[in-house]
Amino acid sequence: MVVEGGASQSEMINFNPKESAEKKEDQEYARFEELESYENVHKNVVNSVLPIGESTLVSIGADGKMVLIDRKTGEKKSEIRPHEKVKVPPEEGDGSASAIISLNHFRPGVFATTGKNDGTIRFWKIGDNDEMEMIGITKGHKGGTENILTVTENNKDGDEVEELYFQPKGGYQSKGGYHFVEKQVLNKTDDFESKVRNSPDPEAISLEVDGNTPAIKQKGENSLVFSYTNKENSWTQGFKKLNLDTGKVEPSSIEFKSRKPISVMTTVEGRPVDERENDQDYPLIVGGTKSGAMFITPDKGKQDVETVLVPEALPWEVTALAATNDRKIISGGNRGEIKIWSIDKGLKPVLLKELKGHNGQKINSIVVTKEGFVTVGNDGSVRVWGVPDERKQETIA
String of DSSP letters for 261-320: -EEEEEEEPPPPGGG--SGGGS-EEEEEETTS-EEEEE--SSS----EEETTSSSS-EEE
**Residue 129 located in a structural domain:** yes
Give the HSE-up count for residue 293: Cα atoms under 13 Å, Cβ half-sphere: 17
CB 98 within 8 A of CB 83: yes
3-state class (DSSP) for residue 1: coil
- In a domain? residue 154: yes
Kindly report, residue by residue over 287-339, the tens digit of the pLDDT. 999 999 999 999 987 767 889 999 889 988 999 999 998 999 999 999 999 99
List, for residues 85-116, the tens digit of each pLDDT value. Answer: 544 443 333 333 456 778 888 888 889 888 77
8 contacts 1 by C-beta, under 8 angstroms: yes
Q: Is residue 387 part of a domain?
A: no
29 sits in which H/E element: helix 17-29
Q: Which of 189, 52, 72 is nearest to 127 (CA)?
A: 52
Does some domain include residue 175? yes
- The residue type of 22 is E
The 8-class DSSP code of residue 379 comes to: T
Domain count, the chain: 1
What is the separation, in whole angstroms, between the first and last Cα of the chain? 44
In-domain check, residue 88:
yes
pLDDT tens digits for the chain (397 residues)? Answer: 222 233 322 233 333 444 545 666 788 999 999 999 999 999 889 999 999 888 899 999 988 899 999 998 988 888 988 887 544 443 333 333 456 778 888 888 889 888 776 778 888 999 888 889 888 887 777 667 777 888 777 767 777 777 788 777 665 544 444 567 777 777 655 555 433 344 445 566 666 556 778 888 898 888 889 898 888 888 899 898 888 888 788 876 788 999 899 999 999 999 999 999 899 999 999 999 999 999 999 998 776 788 999 988 998 899 999 999 899 999 999 999 999 999 987 888 999 999 999 999 999 999 999 889 999 999 999 999 999 875 443 333 3
Q: How many residues does the chain have?
A: 397
What domain range includes position 109?
81-208
| Contact by Cβ (8 Å): 325, 395 | yes
Backbone dihedral region for residue 389 (phi beyond 0: left; psi -120 to 50: alpha; all else: beta): left
Q: How far apart are CA 155 and CA 153, in angstroms?
A: 6
Q: Is 250 contained in some domain?
A: no
**Residue 115 belongs to some domain of the structure:** yes
Residues 6+ apart with CB under 8 A from 187: 159, 161, 162
Q: 350 with 341: CB under 8 angstroms?
A: yes
List the beta bridge partners of residue 80: 66
Say if 22 falls within a structural domain: no
d(Cα 331, Cα 50) in Å, to the nearest integer?
18
